[in-house]
Amino acid sequence: MLQPSIYRLRLQDILTICVLGLLCLGILMVQSAAMNITEQTTWHWTERGTKHLLYVAIALLTFFAIGHLNFEKLAARKSQIAIASVAIALLTCIVVLIPHVGTSVKGARRWLPLGFTQVQPSELAKWAVVIFLSAWLSSDNRKSQIAARLSSPKSNRKLIPLLLILLPIAAICLLVVIEDFGTAFLIALCALTILLVGRVKLWHLALLAPPAIAAGVWFMTHKSYRMSRMMSFRDPFANPQREGYHMIQSLLSFSTGGIFGTGLGRGVQKLGYLPEDTTDFIFAVICEELGLFGAILTIALYLGILYVAWQAIRNLQITNRKSPLLGGCTQPTIANFAQLLIFGIASMITLQALINIAVATVSVPPKGMSLPLVSAGGSGLVITSAALGLLYSICRSKAHGSPIVETEPVPDIGKPALAV
């Protein structure tokens, strides 16, 4: 009879497996989707696949580099980091809108050229909002009246401090929505979830909802192509060669793939039929070539990241009750910041993946949004890996009670092998 293993999978190990799995899946599918009909019949790396492989290598280095930073030291400077991140996000979102400075692709000016690559300011804005809200909703700085009122259980009775905190977030959303409605909606939705978890009064949010909804409706109706996408979603086959083309081709990918798929590299829709097959609609390529198995594998990897986040928050709550003090800093302060940051990271990645899959399956109106860690890209891939590196760092930290810091006894042979 086989004895159970004495080795345990730590949370950071599970997170690493999920991140590596998604990145490897992205390498395969971007390379496959980038292959076109050529005279060369043997395996060869495409230019798009080679560039994506380079970005994946940079993303992995970023993930492990940030993951091995001391989270307690970062948490001690959370206010400075939050202000700096929002300032950089606001500055880049303004600069990218300047003509002849921001790079325009397919009619949208969303990229800033930086030598050999381009940076998308909206990617910086997403994570700046997460860090900013996590820092201020968990702050115990008595010198800052806004932070103090927002950090205590009875803090959210004042509306004015909340408005001051939301002002830079609203400015970011207004700058992003000019060229990218989907990302602005994602930022606003993730900010809302963090505010709800941060115990902001519901009637405060109810007061802010009407102007936010009115602004969203105005920006949606202000540009005709956004309204045409909304109308074509009702019946894609009414205009199959224009607004409904993306949706029809995506549905054909799912119907062609079936349960087992056509095989890696054997998809047909990528050969000029399915637009944005390496970015926005890469999930459709996965389902065509890998079938239902590929879809389940992709979703399972995202659920793995969500499980790590949930378990990390749970462990932080347990550690917070056991150790009131740590390294001269109050454990509740570090734990509260870590919990909000974990929740924000998990929410952003989960919501983005959910929207991308919903668009690919024609469950919502079409909107350009990449699949995190899988779609081809440069700045988005690296920045998302950096955010997950923060989650890795929290799993290793003292505040989390990780065995890296405090060695725990090895379990007996008779105990379960998997314990987190």
Instruction: Write the pLDDT tens digit of every residue in 46-55.
Output: 888 889 999 9
For 126-165, letters b (16+ CB in 10 Å) and e give: bbbbbbbbbbbbbbeeeeeebbebbbeeebbeeeebbeeb
Residue type, 390: L
Q: Which two tokens stand for residue 36?
A: 């076109």
Which helix (DSSP H) or strand (DSSP E) does residue 338 occupy?
Answer: helix 331-360
Over residues 388-398, the mean pLDDT reads 89
Mean of pLDDT over the chain: 82
Q: Does residue 326 register a pLDDT over 70?
A: no
Kindly tell me if the per-residue pLDDT of 355 is higher than 90: yes
Alpha-carbon torsion (363, 364, 367, 371), positive or negative: negative
Q: What's the whole-model pTM score?
A: 0.86
Q: Is the pLDDT of residue 58 over 90?
A: yes
User: Which one is predicted more confidently, 256 or 116?
Assistant: 256
SS3 105: strand
* pLDDT in the model for residue 22: 96
141: pLDDT confidence band, cut at 50, 70 and 90?
Answer: very low
Question: What is the rounded CA–CA span in Å between residue 114 and residue 98?
Answer: 15
**Which of these ranges, 39-43, 292-296, 299-303, 341-345, has the smallest mean pLDDT?**
39-43
Q: How confident is the model at residue 41 (pLDDT cuts 50, 70, 90)?
A: low
The phi, psi pair for 349, rounded to 5°, reads -70, -40
Please list the alpha-helical segments (H only) found in 178-242. 181-197, 202-222, 224-234
Q: Identify residue 84 by its one-letter amino acid code.
A: A
CA–CA gap between residue 390 and residue 387 (Å, rounded): 5
Give residue 205's pLDDT.
84
- pLDDT of amino acid 369: 87
Examine the pLDDT at 86 and tell me if it is beyond 60: yes
pLDDT at residue 416, as a whole number = 40
Angle, in degrees to the nearest 10, between helices 159-177 and 181-197: 160
Mean local confidence (pLDDT), 204-228: 84
Between 306 and 159, name the one with better pLDDT: 306
- List strands edge to edge, sheet with 117-119: 103-105, 108-114, 117-119
Average pLDDT rounded to a whole number, residues 181-202: 89
- Quickly state the pLDDT bin for 419 (edges 50, 70, 90): very low
Q: Which residue has the higher pLDDT, 162 or 394?
A: 394
Q: How many CB atoms lie within 10 A of CB 275?
A: 14
- Burial category of 206 from C-beta neighbours within 10 Å (exposed 0-12, middle 13-18, buried 19 and up): exposed
Q: What is the mean pLDDT of residues 224-249?
A: 82
pLDDT band at 319 (very low <50, low <70, confident <90, very high): confident
Q: Which residues contact 239 (CB under 8 A, 6 or more apart)?
A: 232
DSSP 374: T
